[in-house]
Amino acid sequence: MQKSQVNVEELRRGGVVALREKDMFSIWVKTACSNLNSRQLKKLADITDKYARSLLLFTSRQIPIIPFVNIRDVTFVKRELAEVEMDLDRCGSRVRNLNVCYEDKICPEAVVNCISLGEKLERFFSSQLMHKVKIGVAGCSRDCIFTSTLTDIGFIGVEVNGAKGYDAYAGGRLGVNPFVGIKVAERLSEDASVKLVQNVLDLLEHQGKPGERAADLITRLGADTFNQEVTMDLDNSRNNQAINCPTGLEEKQTGKTILKIRATCGEVTSNQVRKIADISERFGYGFVHFSVRGSPEIPGIDVKNLPDIKEELKDAGLLMIDSGLENLQSCFGDYCAEGLADPQSLLRRVENRIKDMGIDKLKITISASGCPNSCGIAHLSDIGFHGVVEPQVDIASCNGCGLCVSVCKRKAIEIKDSKAVIDIKQCRLCGQCVSICPLDAILEKRKGFAVLLGGRGGEDTRLGTKIAEYASEDEAFKIVEGLLALVKDRGVDAKTIIEQIGIVNIRKTIVPEDKAATAHTGKGNKHEHPIK
List, in order, residues 6 or more apart from 55 with CB less than 8 Å away: 48, 66, 67, 68, 267, 268, 269, 270
Boundary residue ending a domain (230, 249, 273): 230
Answer yes or no: is 522 within a domain: no
Q: How many domains does the chain have?
A: 3
Residues of the chain with pLDDT under 70: 1-5, 237, 239, 518-532
Boundary residue ending a domain (185, 215, 230): 230
Is the domain of 103 the same as that of 68?
no
pLDDT score of 523: 39
Q: Hey, is 26 helix, strand or coil?
A: strand
d(CA 123, CA 98): 10
Answer yes or no: is 21 within a domain: yes
d(CA 309, CA 485): 33
Spatial contact of 424 and 109, defined as CB atoms under 8 Å apart: no
Domain that holds residue 422: 329-515
Is the domain of 393 the same as that of 462?
yes
Spatial contact of 391 and 433, defined as CB atoms under 8 Å apart: yes
| Of 12, 38, 16, the residue nearest 29 (C-alpha) | 16
R_g of the chain, CA atoms, integer Å:
23
Boundary residue ending a domain (186, 207, 230): 230
Q: Give bridge partners of residue 454 from the DSSP assignment.
A: none
pLDDT score of 525: 40
pLDDT score of 459: 80
Is the domain of 67 the same as that of 180?
no
Distances (CA, A) of 156 to 84, 169, 274, 525: 31, 8, 33, 20
Is the domain of 150 the same as that of 285?
no
Pairs from 125-128 (Cβ < 8 Å, separation ≥ 24): 125/30, 125/90, 125/95, 125/96, 125/97, 125/98, 126/95, 127/94, 127/95, 127/201, 128/94
Is the domain of 481 the same as that of 350?
yes
Answer yes or no: is 529 within a domain: no
Is the domain of 153 the same as that of 266?
no
Is the domain of 103 the same as that of 87?
no
The CATH number covering residue 69 comes to 3.90.480.20
CB burial of residue 6 (10 Å; 0-12, 13-18, 19+): middle
CA 486, distance to chain mean position in Å, is 28
Distances (CA, A) of 486 to 332, 381, 482: 30, 17, 7
The CATH number covering residue 130 comes to 3.30.413.10
Strand order in the sheet with 296-302: 35-37, 287-290, 296-302, 256-260
Is the domain of 394 the same as that of 462?
yes
pLDDT score of 3: 45
pLDDT score of 243: 84
Is the domain of 269 the same as that of 196?
no
CA 473, distance to chain mean position in Å, is 22
Spatial contact of 8 and 237, defined as CB atoms under 8 Å apart: no
Answer yes or no: is 457 within a domain: yes
Answer yes or no: is 214 within a domain: yes
CA atoms within 13 A on the CB side of 134: 23
Is the domain of 422 the same as that of 445?
yes
pLDDT score of 42: 98
pLDDT score of 239: 67
Answer yes or no: is 520 within a domain: no
Q: What is the pTM of this model?
A: 0.92
d(CA 421, CA 414): 5
Is the domain of 448 the same as that of 395?
yes
Answer yes or no: is 302 within a domain: no
Is the domain of 504 the same as that of 384?
yes
Answer yes or no: is 236 within a domain: no
